[in-house]
Structure 1
Amino acid sequence: MFKRILLLPIFVLLAWLSKPAPVSAQALLPYTLQLNAEELEQQGLNLAQDAVQLTRFQQYDLALSRAKLATQLAPNSFETWFILGTLYVQNQQLDEGIEALSKAQSLKPEEAGVLFSLGNTYFQKGDYRTAVSKLEAGLKLESDVPEALFDLGNAYYMLDQYPKAIAAYQKAAAQEPNDTWPVWPAINNIGLVKYEQGDVAGAIEKWQAAIAIDPEAAEPKLAIAVALYTQGEQDRGLALGETALRSDERYADLEFLKENLWGERLISDTQKFLANPRIQATIAPSGNVPVQVEVTP
């Protein structure tokens, strides 16, 4: 699972925000700009569109300032609050994001994208029950959104509701049969669940399926390596682990693995795997002392 923020909905909003402003004849007095409420709202939507465009260039501070002004000019448009909330979340200002997204939801309760974004944000805060509530509410409106189903699986997983997590991951993978996102991560995470349940063979099968979809994915390779090593197939495990860590060294970081929802059982086995001298030599920066890994008894 990748830590991710649902920026996609605000790009979808571009189609709505790009509508041309209504044309109306205005008599201009000297030094005075006459704007009615409709024009002010359109100006707000235009600013919101600018904010979305700025996110394409990762200009998040500029985007955020425009989005804030957009909500002042168009306070009754859910789009402006939706964009502001999403940008707050992108900036890891989760409480502010929830406040803005909740305002968007109050203006348009039947907008699934807002509910999905709220669910994702509550997940990041660690409020998994509320995340489930928001995601399920959104999925009642739009049942075939793979990213939302993936998030729902993650939330159920963190609540130790493993059967529901697997069901959500399976639905997520089924929505996009020809795409790698979120198909391989969903299948990969089913493997994580199965490993925590003690079904090592089932976990390996899922990780192999994830690799078949995306041969470059390092996470399932390392997971298989740890499983093989733990089962006594040390040479196979070490060889595969070296390949995985050379392709993406972030997976040598236990905190990174926890962020990617590796459970306690798998983390414990990974600690022992990473402590192996061959793996230490692989992950050690050139010329530096090998990374020290604390092994739990």
Structure 2
Amino acid sequence: MEKAKNAEEYIAQQRQMIASNPDCGTSYYNLAVALIGMQKYDEAEKELVKALDCSPGLAEAFVQLGGLALRKGDLDACLDYNKRAVKAKPGFSEGHGNIGFVHLQRGEVDEAIQALQRATYFNFRFVQAFASLGSAYLMKGMIDESIENSMKALVLAPDFAVAHNNLAIAYLEKGDYEKAADHCGRAVQLGYAVAPEILKEIEKK
């Protein structure tokens, strides 16, 4: 219960700050993030809109709204909010990463690659974006590029299961069954649901 009490205290503080300075977008944003932490998503959405009314260039607020849209399964709104985020702050890697993620979900691989490359350009420690690039290149049949980006993800986070899964598939494509089995084993160990046909293929070899 201690945590909720702290979160509630924090929320109360943010509300006080808003009361004393109602034009501060950051206070609305901080309040919204705390509300998201407590799973009060509808309330959070209202505060994010207020944050942007006060500070239209608050890229982080657009990204949070994109995240809330994604929770509802609204990929169009998620994409739109993240595009507005990178318009407000062109070097905002998280926005580019989310744009890439949405394109990937829709099977728009070229657009995904473009956005994810931007994400990793602006943040060379963006594990999720490197792993997603690994997936995107795999979909395009660009195996070496897929391996390169999945490896970059693993340098940053050795236990990133998606990257291990992508490497298992990529090495399978290259006929390097030992490495494929290695990465497949790691992905399974880390709780990743490797596709049954991949497991079968590796066992066969």
User: Which TM-score band applies after superposition, normalised by the shorter structure?
Assistant: 0.7 to 0.9
Distance 1:81 1:224, change over 3 A: closer
Matched with 2:45 is 64
Judging changes above 3 Å, is the alpha-carbon distance between structure 1 residues 222 and 125 closer, same or farther for their aligned structure 2 residues? closer
What RMSD, in angstroms, separates the aligned Cα atoms of the two structures? 3.0
Shift in Å, 1:77: 2.3
Structure 1 equivalent of residue 172 of structure 2: 195
Confirm whether residue 48 of structure 1 aligns to residue 25 of structure 2.
no
Cα deviation, residue 196, structure 1 = 4.1
Aligned-partner residue type, residue 165 of structure 2: N
Contact 1:45–1:80 at 8 Å: present in 2 too? no
Question: What is aligned with 1:9?
Answer: none
Partner amino acid for 2:71? Q
Q: TM-score, normalised by structure 2?
A: 0.77
Aligned AA (1:203): A
Is 1:136 aligned with 2:136? no
Shift of the alpha carbon at 1:119?
A: 1.6
Letter in 1 for 2:167: I
User: Structure 2 residue aligned with 1:217, among 184, 191, 197?
Assistant: 191
Per the alignment, do residues 209 and 104 of structure 1 end up closer, same or farther by CA in structure 2, a change over 3 Å counting? closer
Task: Please name the residue that 1:207 is paired with.
Answer: 184
Gaps of 5+ in 2: 1-13
Read off the aligned partner of 1:115 and give its amino acid letter.
H
What's 1:117 paired with? 98
8 Å CA contact 2:180, 2:202 repeated in 1: no
CA distance in 2 between counterparts of 1:202 and 1:143 reads 25
Instruction: From 174, 182, 185, give the equivalent of 2:155.
Output: 174
Deviations 1:161-186 (A, max 9, x none): 11111110011001124xx2x2x331
Aligned pairs for 1:1-297 (under 5 A) are 39-42=21-24, 44-177=25-158, 180=159, 182=160, 184-210=161-187, 215=189, 217=191, 219=193, 225-227=199-201, 230=204
Q: 1:224 to 1:122 in 2, by over 3 A?
A: closer
Deviation of 1:209 after TM superposition, in Å, equals 4.1
Native 8 Å contact 1:40 1:74 kept in 2: no
| Structure 2 CA distance for aligned equivalents of residues 229 and 148 of structure 1 | 30
* Aligned position for 1:285: none
The structure with the greater share of residues assigned to helix is 2
Q: Secondary structure at the match of 1:219?
A: coil
Aligned counterpart, 1:281? none
Distance 1:97 1:218, change over 3 A: closer
Q: 2: CA distance between counterparts of 1:58 and 1:148?
A: 25
How far is 1:216 from its partner? Answer: 5.4
> Per-residue CA shift, 1:198-250, capped at 9, x if unaligned?
54444213223445xxx35253596775236545xxxxxxxxxxxxxxxxxxx
